[in-house]
């Protein structure tokens, strides 16, 4: 186990394509850190730079107290798990897991112990003599994890390892990864575009956009105190609702809609972005506001009601007992104590 430090790391590809900029992160020993963001934000690039598969344009990388910036990938004491499993199809599960240990010329006894121990942790002891083609997607992913575990690396790197699995299996594997981290107490850095994975797995989350870090914090802090409108809109599903508003003497004007709330008293007049999460909008027959329903998603445990409000789509998360009909009006109230305010550049404004 070891800590990891990115110190001023940037990566610029040919033709001045910026993939990573001003990347300064310290990952604590034993921490599960998740890098999340849309495609092209730099999250996989940061992992590949740490693994030694890409050279940083500027900056240094440390694993523990060791500067690994110029060290070969095989000498960095890391193990990487990929999206596509990268298993050798002609080898058995046992041989796939033992391959790296044989390359290190470990004794047969040590290899067998490491492989069988890892297989027992992952619940794949019965599959050691099978070939990858005889396994399900989830079983193949466990083999890929096992191949990493047997090496006892200082750091585990995961590059969207669950992307090829179906929705039910992704949830199961998320739980298994959390349990694995608890058992091994290892440093793990995990890349995903799925904010649900990030929220459920990470001790801390790094949100990236266009190669720049937007915020680093715990899942709950990101959810409740986003630094900017990008983080606010990226974390949470359905996404946060936004309105472009004009504030005058504490009164919101959103298009032709006027909203009064004491929470905005003392905020300077001007143009802002107003944000409210779907679960902080409450159905109310005598609510102060109403809007036309456009779509209703019935999910069994909850209903998601979409409305056209102030020329924007608004989502409301509510109980399955709350029904709505597209084309009809829906009354609601807003919990302003849970709302967010951003300036026109997207930076969050503290107002309570």
The values of phi and psi at residue 261, to 5°, are -160, 135
The values of phi and psi at residue 291, to 5°, are -155, 160
SS3 labels along 94-115:
HHHHHHHHHHCCCCHHHHHHHH
- Over range 202-211, report the average pLDDT: 96
Interstrand relation of 204-209 and 187-192 (parallel, antiparallel or unpaired)? unpaired
CATH superfamily assigned to domain 4-234: P-loop containing nucleotide triphosphate hydrolases (3.40.50.300)
Calculate ∠ Cα 317-320-323, nearest 5°. Answer: 85
Residues 251-288 have pLDDT tens digits of: 889 988 888 777 877 888 999 999 999 999 999 877 67
pLDDT of residue 352: 62
pLDDT of residue 209: 96
Residue 67 has pLDDT above 80, yes or no: yes
Return the higher-pLDDT residue of 147 and 83: 147
pLDDT of residue 163: 85
- Over range 165-174, report the average pLDDT: 85
Residues 103-130 have pLDDT tens digits of: 889 999 999 999 999 999 888 999 999 9
**Spatial separation of the C-alpha atoms in residues 113 and 161, rounded to whole Å:** 26
CATH 2.40.50.140 given to domain 241-349 = yes
- Over range 162-169, report the average pLDDT: 84
pLDDT of residue 75: 92
Q: Domain locations in the chain?
A: 4-234, 241-349
**Spatial separation of the C-alpha atoms in residues 216 and 265, rounded to whole Å:** 30
**Spatial separation of the C-alpha atoms in residues 37 and 214, rounded to whole Å:** 10
pLDDT of residue 287: 66
Per CATH, 4-234 and 241-349 having the same topology is answered no
* Cis? peptide before 238, omega within 30° of 0: yes
């Amino acid at each position: 186990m070891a800590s990891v430090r990115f110190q001023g790391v940037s990566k610029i590809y040919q033709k001045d394509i910026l993939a990573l900029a001003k990347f300064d992160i310290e990952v604590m020993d034993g921490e599960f850190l998740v890098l999340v963001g849309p495609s092209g934000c730099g999250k996989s690039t940061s992992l590949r730079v740490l693994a030694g598969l890409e050279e940083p344009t500027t900056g240094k990388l440390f694993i523990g107290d060791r500067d690994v910036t110029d060290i070969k990938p095989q000498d960095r004491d890391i193990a990487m798990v990929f999206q596509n499993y990268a298993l050798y199809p002609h080898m058995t599960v046992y041989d796939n897991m033992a391959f790296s240990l044989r390359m290190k010329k470990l004794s047969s006894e040590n290899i067998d112990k490491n492989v069988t121990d890892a297989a027992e942790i992952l619940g794949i002891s019965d599959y050691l003599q099978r070939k990858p083609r005889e396994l399900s997607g989830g079983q193949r992913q466990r083999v890929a994890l096992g191949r990493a575990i047997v090496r006892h690396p200082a750091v585990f790197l995961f590059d969207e390892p669950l992307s090829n699995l179906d929705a039910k299996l992704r949830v199961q594997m998320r739980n298994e990864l959390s349990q694995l981290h608890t058992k091994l107490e290892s440093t793990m850095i995990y890349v995903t575009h799925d904010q649900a994975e990030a929220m459920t797995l990470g001790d801390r989350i790094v949100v990236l956009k266009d190669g720049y870090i937007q915020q680093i914090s715990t899942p709950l802090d990101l959810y409740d105190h986003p630094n900017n409108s990008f983080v606010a809109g990226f974390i949470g599903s359905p996404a946060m609702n936004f309105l472009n508003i004009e504030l005058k003497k504490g009164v919101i004007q959103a298009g032709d809609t006027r909203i009064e709330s004491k929470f905005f008293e003392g905020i300077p007049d001007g143009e802002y972005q107003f944000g409210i999460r779907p679960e902080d909008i409450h159905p109310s027959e005598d609510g102060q506001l109403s809007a036309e329903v456009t779509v209703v998603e019935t999910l069994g445990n909850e209903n998601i009601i979409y409305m056209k409000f102030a020329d924007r789509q608004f989502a409301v998360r509510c109980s399955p007992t709350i029904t709505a009909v597209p084309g009809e009006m829906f009354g609601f109230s807003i919990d302003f104590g849970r709302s967010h305010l951003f300036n026109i550049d997207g930076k969050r404004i503290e107002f309570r």
